[in-house]
Amino acid sequence: MRAARYFGPHDFRLVEIDRPVPERGEVLLRVRAAGLCHSDLHIIFDELGGYPIPAPLTLGHEICGEAVERGEGVTGIEIGRRYVVFGPVGCGNCRWCRSGRDNLCTESRWIGIARDGGYAEYVTVPAQALVAVPDTVSDAEAAVATDAVLTSYHALLTVGRLQPGEGVAIIGVGGLGLNAVQIASAFGAVVLALDIQERKLELARQHGAAIALDSRQLDPQNPPLDRPITLVADFVGTDQTKLLAQQLVARGGRIVLVGLGSVGGPLLGLRAVADEIAVLGSFWGTRQELATVLDLIARGIIRPRVETHPLDEILTWVERLRAGEVESRVALVP
Ligand code: NAD
Ligand code: ZN
Ligand code: ZN
């Protein structure tokens, strides 16, 4: 089968490999769509500060597929049905899994990051990673629900504890951030969207942002919102945006870090202390939240914007995403 594989830094290629066979407790999926995430770029272009990625590895951690074969011992999975894959699927036994924070499971092998993922015709995954897709949700929407929507939901509602009526700034309204704008607006926040591309700002306005501005033109001491910005979510994560987040957030406010644009970063210590600013990291989301976001999409409350292209064009789309030429999110179809 065709698969797009990471062989080491700057070496990502389409190759032919054997179709995987499901082991005990696993399911073989025929991939119907797999979303392209900026994290794939951080992996391919070695931007994670030496974080270990096994190689060779089939990337692709936003997967929607159809179950075609059950491994030994698998029950409750229907052949022919559509499922999405919960990427950080946990062991089910550790203290994180047992307390519902399965995204933090220390035994997990993240699908598409630590074990083979969805940029291929087929993928095998643990059965407990599968969540059924509602009929009204398309393959591509379901695929991007597993990260671009799930991560945004977790960051704003669970980690950020977003409150209706509060002023929220979203820095970076690309694949994740545009969903964050929709989620924050749907839950009653007043949203300031920031990006460096006018096209993305226009989309943010269409998807619920009260104001959308070039982040380089913003005076962080005088943000153009009618209320204090008590929650800032950074979906870029460069030193520049982390600094901006700290300048922009109101006294007593929260900053949620999602983007991995740089692995370190500046901390305005006096500001954090004197104004009691909470700086919070946010990682992916939980299996329970994935079911919730699929339901929000099925009900039309969130409409993830996603375009599909053939898997054979993946290298072109990697370059386009890197150049900022993807409108919102791309999903590859084998
Ligand atoms: P993307 O490329 O689709 O979007 C990034 C957006 O940021 C683009 O619209 C770009 O124009 C904008 N941008 C760049 N520099 C900016 C600046 N200085 N000010 C304002 N906007 C700026 O990327 P994505 O797929 O949405 O991913 C965003 C980040 O989140 C990546 O770093 C990715 O690795 C990370 N991520 C983290 C998690 C997590 O669990 N924490 C999960 C998925 C992705
Ligand atoms: Zn991702
Ligand atoms: Zn666990």
Q: In terms of Cα–Cα distance, which of 6, 42, 14, 34 is closest to 330? A: 34
For residue 234, the model assigns a pLDDT of: 99
Closest residue by Cα to residue 120 from 53, 32, 44: 32
How far does residue 227's CA lie from ligand 2's centre (Å)? 32
C-alpha span between 204 and 179 (Å, rounded): 9
**What is the percent of the chain with per-residue pLDDT over 70, rounded to a whole number?**
100
The predicted-structure confidence for 155-185, as pLDDT tens digits, reads as follows 999 999 999 999 999 999 999 999 999 999 9
Taking a C-beta distance cutoff of 8 angstroms, is the pair 230, 256 a contact?
no
| pLDDT tier, 213 (very low <50, low <70, confident <90, very high otherwise) | very high
Nearest one of 13, 328, 22, 5 to 177, comparing CA atoms: 328
Q: Which CATH number fits domain 2-147+284-333: 1.10.10.10, 3.40.50.300, 3.90.180.10, 2.40.50.140?
A: 3.90.180.10
CATH topology identical between 2-147+284-333 and 161-281: no
Residue 108: predicted pLDDT: 97
> The pTM is what?
0.98
Structural domain boundaries in the chain: 2-147+284-333, 161-281
Average pLDDT over residues 62-89: 98
CA of 305 to the centre of ligand 2 (A): 15
pLDDT at residue 319, rounded to an integer: 98
| Residue ranges lining ligand 1, Cβ < 6 Å | 37-39, 42, 147, 151, 171-177, 194-197, 200, 215, 235-238, 240-241, 258-261, 282-284, 321, 324
Q: What region, left, alpha or beta, does residue 161 occupy, with left being phi > 0 and alpha being psi -120 to 50 degrees?
A: left
User: What's the fold here for domain 161-281?
Assistant: Rossmann fold (3.40.50)
For 102-153, what is each residue's pLDDT tens digit? 999 999 999 999 999 999 999 999 999 999 999 999 999 999 999 999 999 9
Dist. CA 147 → ligand 2 center (Å): 5
Residue identifier of the C-alpha nearest atom 13 of ligand 1: 172
Query: What ipTM was assigned to the predicted interfaces of this complex?
Result: 0.99
CA 292 to each of CA 128, 155, 296, 301: distance values in angstroms, whole numbers, following the listed order: 17, 14, 6, 11
Q: What is the average pLDDT value for the chain, to the nearest integer?
A: 98
End-to-end CA distance of the chain: 10
Dump pLDDT digits (tens) for 293-302. Answer: 999 999 999 9
Confidence (pLDDT) at 244: 98
